[in-house]
């Protein structure tokens, strides 16, 4: 038996509770992992609360991230005791995920935990930090370097935003953070933001073209915020879009694309090839120090997951939530 969060659904009820589980709840996979830490992401919160149809198979253990040690692997890719991590690949959506003490997974979904990181540190980074790194890699491949100008980060108090600011600042970029919680300005400045702007300056309908300001943008918000970010991106700049906290719609104009030649780069972290994952995680391990990880992450136990999921959706969570699955 092992403990985990289980989401169940019938015609009348949708529930997420911490339960004692046995191996029969686990799904097919060639690798059995003893999970040490998981995380609570925005997508996990949607799954746990049922606010969005993230989960497509029931019953299901949520959790799109996990880190732990291999118990057994029949594919030969890993051996017992190997430290591994996982982000995405439908885990926590259509396959039982990381918010439990065990996970049965496909070895092709796993990568080796970078030696410089502990399981807890890797989950302090999680999908949020990994996605932020993919966004930064997109900016750099487009040629946006620190001397090109300001970088806008929206949803700055969230996990992706927090890590994007910290990593960009470490790399020497001038970062402007957009947030709805301007009272958190000191936290964002401590991460490396040079200026804080109120998200309401971006979240309402705006002009098709605004004054050019941003050399690049990392947006985890979507909707009008993404449209306004595009409208104020400099000629030839790039906007990396990775989230939809405001909405999935894109109520904008083609003007920034055909008149200023900007690029809108979609950043998918779920099905990203292993080569890109490995590059991103190797860079994260080198760039993020233990103090940054401690500043950004808060640790909770399994018993706190369901309540914290609602707090996250209510905008009451700052930074990252790390879940110690062996602590209640």
The CA radius of gyration of the chain, in Å to the nearest whole number, is 20
Residue 238 CA to residue 218 CA, distance in Å, equals 9
Q: What are the extents of the domains in the chain?
A: 2-113+294-324, 127-266
Tell me the per-residue pLDDT of 144-200, one tens digit each, with 9 for 90 and over. 999 999 999 999 988 899 999 999 999 999 999 999 888 889 989 999 999 999 999
Residue 75 CA to residue 288 CA, distance in Å, equals 32
Give me the pLDDT at residue 106, please.
Answer: 97
Give me the pLDDT at residue 250, please.
Answer: 96
CB 17 within 8 A of CB 5: yes
Give mean pLDDT, residues 52-69. Answer: 95
Give mean pLDDT, residues 70-84. Answer: 98
Q: Which helix (H) or strand (E) holds 72?
A: strand 65-73
In this predicted structure, the answer to whether residue 323 has a pLDDT above a threshold of 90 is yes
Tell me the per-residue pLDDT of 247-277, one tens digit each, with 9 for 90 and over. 999 999 999 999 999 999 999 999 999 999 9
CB 26 within 8 A of CB 13: no
Identify the CATH assignment for 2-113+294-324 out of 1.10.760.10, 3.90.180.10, 3.30.428.10, 3.50.50.60: 3.90.180.10
2-113+294-324 against 127-266: fold identical: no
Confidence grade of residue 295 (pLDDT, cut at 50, 70, 90): confident
Class level of CATH domain 127-266: alpha beta
Q: Is the pTM of this model over 0.75?
A: yes
Q: Which helix (H) or strand (E) holds 20?
A: strand 14-21
């Amino acid at each position: 038996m092992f403990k985990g969060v289980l989401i169940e659904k019938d015609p009348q009820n949708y529930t997420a509770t911490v339960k004692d589980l046995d191996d029969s709840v686990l799904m097919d996979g060639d690798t059995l992992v003893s999970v040490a830490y998981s995380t609570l992401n925005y997508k996990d919160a949607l799954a746990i609360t049922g606010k969005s149809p993230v989960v497509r198979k029931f019953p299901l253990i949520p959790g799109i991230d996990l880190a732990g040690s291999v118990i057994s692997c029949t594919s030969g890719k890993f051996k017992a005791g190997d430290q591994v991590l996982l982000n995405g690949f439908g885990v926590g959506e259509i396959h039982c995920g990381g918010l439990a003490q065990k996970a049965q997974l496909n070895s092709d979904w796993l990568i080796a935990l970078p030696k410089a990181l502990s399981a807890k540190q890797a989950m302090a980074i999680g999908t949020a930090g990994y996605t932020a790194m993919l966004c930064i890699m997109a900016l750099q491949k487009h040629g946006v370097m620190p001397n090109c100008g300001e970088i806008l980060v929206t949803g700055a108090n969230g996990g992706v935003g927090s890590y994007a600011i910290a990593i960009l600042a470490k790399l020497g970029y001038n970062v402007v953070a957009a947030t709805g919680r301007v009272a958190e300005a000191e936290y964002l400045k401590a991460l490396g933001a040079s200026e804080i702007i109120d998200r309401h300056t971006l979240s309402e309908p705006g002009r098709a073209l605004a004054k050019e300001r941003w050399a690049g943008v990392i947006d985890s918000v979507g909707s009008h915020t993404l449209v306004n970010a595009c409208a104020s991106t400099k000629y030839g700049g790039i906007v990396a879009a990775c989230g939809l906290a405001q909405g999935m719609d894109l109520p904008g104009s083609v003007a920034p694309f055909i008149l200023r030649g900007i690029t809108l780069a979609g950043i998918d972290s779920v099905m990203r090839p292993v080569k890109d994952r490995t590059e991103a995680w190797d860079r994260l391990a080198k760039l993020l120090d233990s103090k940054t990880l401690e500043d950004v992450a808060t640790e909770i136990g399994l018993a706190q997951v369901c309540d914290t999921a609602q707090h996250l959706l209510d905008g009451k969570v700052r930074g990252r939530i790390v879940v110690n699955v062996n602590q209640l």
